[in-house]
Structure 1
Amino acid sequence: MIECIDITGSTNADLVSRLAAGEPVFAGSWLVALRQTAGRGRLGRVWNDGAGNFMGSTVHFPRAEDPPLASLALVVGLAVQRVVADILPLPHQAQLKWPNDVMVGDAKLAGILLERAGEALVIGVGVNLTQAPDLPDRATVALSRFGPVPDVEEFASRLAASFASELGLWRDYGLAAMLQRWLAVAYPLGTAMSVKGVSGTITGHFAGLDESGALQLALPDGRLHIVHAGDVQLL
């Protein structure tokens, strides 16, 4: 089910509130807003909405037999990438940047925010369909730059189906198979990048993911550094 509303503060915050109030929120349902006034991104960033862009959230209810929950961010990113890749005309490519950004070239097209809400996980997705926000620290791009784009409700329908499919594969075939699919549409090994974390910024080259889905960064001295959380920038 896809519920589309005209305007709200944040679709993530709305679903968190519904869960806290004990309202029925079903797995596979999406709350989509045509405008947001208080959207949020990762690491406390403000998410700038734009008319015609996709802004929506869904809820995931973990099962005991699921792969590690931290890897769900990669699943969501893969689901978004699959939808975008079907819209982008060649030779343009939608690529994944760890942990969950969808990029076209060196510009950010989509972002994802996961938030705990009791036993559930609220997943927010923002995709620049018609407008790209002007951000001070990174390049952005909108799908409309490359040709016609679906409207918000059509994109929501495609994304809901894609996420359901990727979630099923993750649950049925496990983490290792999902990581292979993720790497197949990520930036190539050897891509130069920096990672900003609580202890500072580290620069190196993308060396894949470890068995848990953490980023592997090859450092200039030959060491392999494992990153479990951080802000990644392409160089």
Structure 2
Amino acid sequence: MAWPEGYGRRVLAEVDSTNAEGARIAGTLAGPEWILGLRQTAARGRRGRAWVNPPGNFAASLVMRPSEAPEVVALRSFVASLALYDAVSAVVGDATGLALKWPNDVLLHGGKLAGILLESVAGHLVIGIGVNLIAAPGAELVEPEAVQPVSLLAETGRRVAPEALFEALAASYALREAAFVAYGFAPIREAWLSHAARIGEEIVARTGSSEHRGTFETVDERGNLVLKTSEARRAIAAADVFF
């Protein structure tokens, strides 16, 4: 698969965190740049949580300088998750069992295969992506009610090298990014919803101060999770979702 034109590429044998490296180099870049870390020593997930990432798993970040308003820039979590869905489907040759969990996880057979972390650094956006290619964290490292992690190898029997997924992801992201810039969020939203997990089912959305239980109706034009609860129809901008 050809590397997309206009995107830089660097592969590091070891790094503390590809997002941290992205933040360090952001100011030196002339254009968007992908970073692949073959080994991470201080990987991070959402809300500062540790991300278990043994060698053989996938850890990469895209550094870019978008020009839109912050609320539009944030919608790239959907662009990235769609691109990752495309890339995993391409390297495995099958999309069976893959689904997208709001706001930015990729599921396989109901388990968490991958997570995405967006960070803003001095006008730049760093999109970090971690995928359990060969190993998943043990249940003891996961919140009791959270979706349990799974690995691609255990679920499909397919051993995929990080470099192979890197090539596929860069290509798929470039296509989704071009569509997002040209046509806006509407087609990205429609495509994301076509792969969404648990639409029409009851879920729980927890913020730092509250919990909402209701039917997952949709994602709105701002990327909010829309829940139909017993009290009202709620649009939630940020939360942890539990099934």
What's the TM-score, normalizing by structure 2? 0.88
| CA deviation string 1:117-140 (max 9, x = no partner) | 111101100011111112322301
Query: In the alignment, is residue 13 of structure 1 matched against residue 20 of structure 2?
Result: yes
Given the alignment, which residue of 49, 73, 91 partners 1:69?
73
User: Is the alpha carbon distance of 1:120 and 1:83 closer, same or farther for their aligned partners in structure 2, counting shifts above 3 Å?
Assistant: same
Distance in 1 of aligned mates of 2:204 and 2:92: 27
5 Å-filtered alignment, 1:100-115, equals: 100-115=104-119
Query: In the alignment, is residue 211 of structure 1 matched against residue 218 of structure 2?
Result: no
Q: Kindly state the Cα deviation for residue 43 of structure 1 after the two structures are TM-superposed.
A: 1.3
Distance in 2 of aligned mates of 1:39 and 1:196: 24
Contact conserved, 2:58 with 2:130, CA < 8 A, in 1?
Answer: yes
Distance in 1 of aligned mates of 2:150 and 2:163: 20
Q: Structure 2 unaligned runs (5+)? A: 1-7
Query: In the alignment, is residue 168 of structure 1 matched against residue 173 of structure 2?
Result: no
Q: How many residues align?
A: 230
Given the alignment, which residue of 76, 82, 85 partners 1:78?
82
Distance in 1 of aligned mates of 2:95 and 2:35: 33
5 Å-filtered alignment, 1:104-183, equals: 104-134=108-138, 135-137=141-143, 138=146, 139-145=148-154, 146-183=156-193
User: Is the alpha carbon distance of 1:102 and 1:86 closer, same or farther for their aligned partners in structure 2, counting shifts above 3 Å?
Assistant: same
What do you get for the CA RMSD once the two structures are aligned? 1.9
Query: In the alignment, is residue 26 of structure 1 matched against residue 26 of structure 2?
Result: no
Query: In the alignment, is residue 4 of structure 1 matched against residue 11 of structure 2?
Result: yes
User: Is the alpha carbon distance of 1:186 and 1:173 closer, same or farther for their aligned partners in structure 2, counting shifts above 3 Å?
Assistant: same
SS in 2 for 1:74: helix
Distance in 1 of aligned mates of 2:224 and 2:87: 24
Q: Structure 1 unaligned runs (5+)? A: none
Worse overlay, 163-172 or 188-197: 188-197
What is aligned with 2:241? 232
The AA in structure 1 aligned to 2:47 is: L
Distance in 1 of aligned mates of 2:234 and 2:209: 13
Q: Kindly state the Cα deviation for residue 227 of structure 1 after the two structures are TM-superposed.
A: 0.6
User: Is the alpha carbon distance of 1:99 and 1:89 closer, same or farther for their aligned partners in structure 2, counting shifts above 3 Å?
Assistant: same
Distance in 1 of aligned mates of 2:10 and 2:167: 11
What's the TM-score, normalizing by structure 1? 0.91
Contact conserved, 2:35 with 2:62, CA < 8 A, in 1?
Answer: yes
Distance in 2 of aligned mates of 1:90 and 1:165: 19
